[in-house]
Amino acid sequence: MGYELDKRNLATIRKEIKETLLTILQEARSGHLSDLASIVYGDRTDVGNIEDMPLLWVLPSPHQPDLKGGHMAVHDFTFTFVTMVYDPEPEAGKDRAEDLTAQVYDLISANRNLNGKVFDVRPLHYDPSYEAMANSNVYWASCEFAFRIQRKE
């Protein structure tokens, strides 16, 4: 069965994408994302708590719907996945942040339809690690994906 134009409420679609994403990430914590101490969604977290690192921070981003003919719109629900690592050794911290981000990238890009929830999963960028907030012991790296749906509007 292929992907069909979605007719559901946008809030329902968004919530389903978010929940599926978080479930996939949580399940991967018992596998190749086992180094993660926590997964946080949204922009409200205490990044100063180094005991919860390394962490994966999932941040939703704004997107612009693309209107197509026939009352159809394409929505790219965009999320940035930021890994944060505490390490007193700069090279080790940077490498670990980049490795975790690469693992997240591979996990998400391997499921190009998010278990049938979206039309396509599109990688947008991969950002190598750097010091976080002028703290030479905390490093972060990120990758960004768009989760595309086509909807009748």
For residue 12, give both structure tokens.
């329902």
Give the C-alpha separation, 132 to 11, whole Å: 33
56-70 tens-digit pLDDT: 999 999 989 999 887
Q: Domain residues of the chain, as ranges?
A: 10-152
Percent over 70 (pLDDT), the chain: 91
Overall pTM > 0.85? yes
pLDDT band at 1 (very low <50, low <70, confident <90, very high): very low
81-129 tens-digit pLDDT: 999 998 999 899 999 999 999 999 999 999 999 998 999 999 999 998 8
**Residue 131: CB atoms within 10 Å:** 14
- 86 phi, psi to nearest 5 deg: -100, 125
Chain-centroid distance of CA 70 in Å reads 31
Q: Which residue has the tokens 């991967």?
A: 28
Strands 72-86 and 55-61, bridge-based pairing: antiparallel
pLDDT of 49 strictly over 60: no
pLDDT of residue 122: 95
pLDDT band at 50 (very low <50, low <70, confident <90, very high): low
- In 20-98, DSSP assigns E strands to 38-41, 55-61, 66-68, 72-86
Q: What 8-state DSSP symbol labels residue 143?
A: E
pLDDT of 2 strictly over 60: no
pLDDT of 76 strictly over 60: yes
13, 45, 53, 87 from 121: Cα distances, Å = 14, 26, 27, 32
pLDDT band at 46 (very low <50, low <70, confident <90, very high): low
> Per CATH, is 10-152 categorized as 3.30.70.1700?
yes
For residue 143, give both structure tokens.
């990758």
